[in-house]
Chain A
Amino acid sequence: MAHPTEYTKKKECEVKAIPLEEKKRLVKEGKAHWFFPHHMIEQVLQCLAIIMILVTFSIIFPAHLGVKADPFDTPAHIKPEWYFLAAFYTLKFAQYFDFLGSWAPKILGIVIQGIAVTALLLVPFLDRGGAERRPSKRPIAMAVGSVSALLTILFSLLGWLT
């Protein structure tokens, strides 16, 4: 693991105040790169790669246009886009709780999603692991994060399969 350098300990607004000579020294010592042209070329290449991926995909797998909507013809299988599959399956999953009463499936479906989103928003405040950043020293955060990610993937797969 690298140690914090003089540069990396400083905030962006303070970095601007570093004298040019010191910036040159940091670059020479390999602790930093010039934004121009080094970092900028990297970013331009990344953008070109993204354009290439998007255009290639559009050519090989053209955007699909399904049949026109018919409000009187409910399709047999309604499935959302892949990124909503987990949320979609959560609604189905909540139906297993109908033994609690007829209110349970609907309310639980939305409550589970609400809790998941709120937890995601509040991650920095829920994590009581102090300032430690290395994943190997944060077993609880890593375990909770992995289980959440795996559950989301599992729910997405189940949503896709049902």
Chain B
Amino acid sequence: MELETLELGPLKIRNKLAIRLFSAVDDRLGVKEILQDEMFEKIVPAHLTFWACFGGISFFIFICQIVTGALLMIYYEPSIMKAHSSVARIMNDVPFGWLIRGVHAWGSNLMIITILIHMTKIFVTGIYKAPRELNWVVGVTLFLLTLGMSFTGYLLPWTQLAYWATVVGTETPAAMPVVGEHLRYFLRGGEDIGQITLTRFFAIHVMILPLILASIVGLHLVQIRRQGISGPM
């Protein structure tokens, strides 16, 4: 039996083809139930203020970073001979390359700012308290991973500042007792910073950290969905 109108929340669809297509998918996957639960019949508490949006905004900037990062990868060459010139080419020759790199660079800064605002808001309003303790820990982990993204991404253009900032940055953990020296060797891929360091930072920046970050973002969101949005104070 065919439906006359398909009702999804405030939407009323009467187009026959649209209804048939939707029903064909719904019969196989039961998407209507999901759409109703998660979107069309979902309610959001009215007490949310402007300050509640910064977690979502951080997530959106993360998505922007993935998109612009993937585009930058098309022209970037991770070798100490060509890294700098390939970034210069992105800035000067590639159409809108300056814009994509600009959004990626500003996005990295803005993401840290929005995470800090998000964290401050959660702290001041005491949202980290029971039952959300674990999600605070997961959230701080995400912040640290974001700093890791910034640290590894900073070296990739192979500029003078980036190189020497990385020298200092990888020297820091060497002060740790027992594991320090090994950690520095692991980060640099040798005694000094060179091609292996760049290759390593590139792999960490574009593959390893994004995968870990995306998984833990998933964990962050699943916890929010299970526990619901916190009530008013």
Contact = CB atoms under 8 A, between A and B. Distances in A.
Question: Are these two chains actual partners, yes or no?
Answer: yes
A121 B165 CA distance: 26
A20 B8 CA distance: 12
Contacts of A55: 99, 102-103
A36 B40 contact: yes
B133 to A, nearest CB: 4
B232 A4 contact: yes
Interface residues of B, number: 87
Contacts of B109: 81-83
B176 to A, nearest CB: 6
B224 A131 contact: no
A142 B120 CA distance: 11
B124 interface: yes
B57 to A, nearest CB: 6
B66 interface: no
Contacts of A38: 44
Contacts of A1: 232-233
A51 B64 contact: yes
Interface residues of A, number: 88
A67 B160 contact: yes
Contacts of B125: 133, 135
Contacts of A46: 53, 56-57, 60
A39 B110 CA distance: 23
Mostly, the B contact residues are: helix
A135 B104 CA distance: 36
Nearest to B137: A121
Given A63-B102, A65-B87, A69-B84, A31 B45 contact: yes
A8 B232 contact: yes
B144 A117 contact: yes
Nearest to B81: A68
A62 interface: yes
Minimum-distance CB pairs A-B, first 5: A58-B102, A133-B126, A69-B163, A124-B133, A12-B228
B201 interface: no
A83 B147 contact: yes
B93 interface: no
Contacts of A121: 137, 140-141
B215 interface: no
B192 A71 contact: yes
A133 B110 CA distance: 28
A99 interface: no
Interface string B132-152: 110011001100100100110
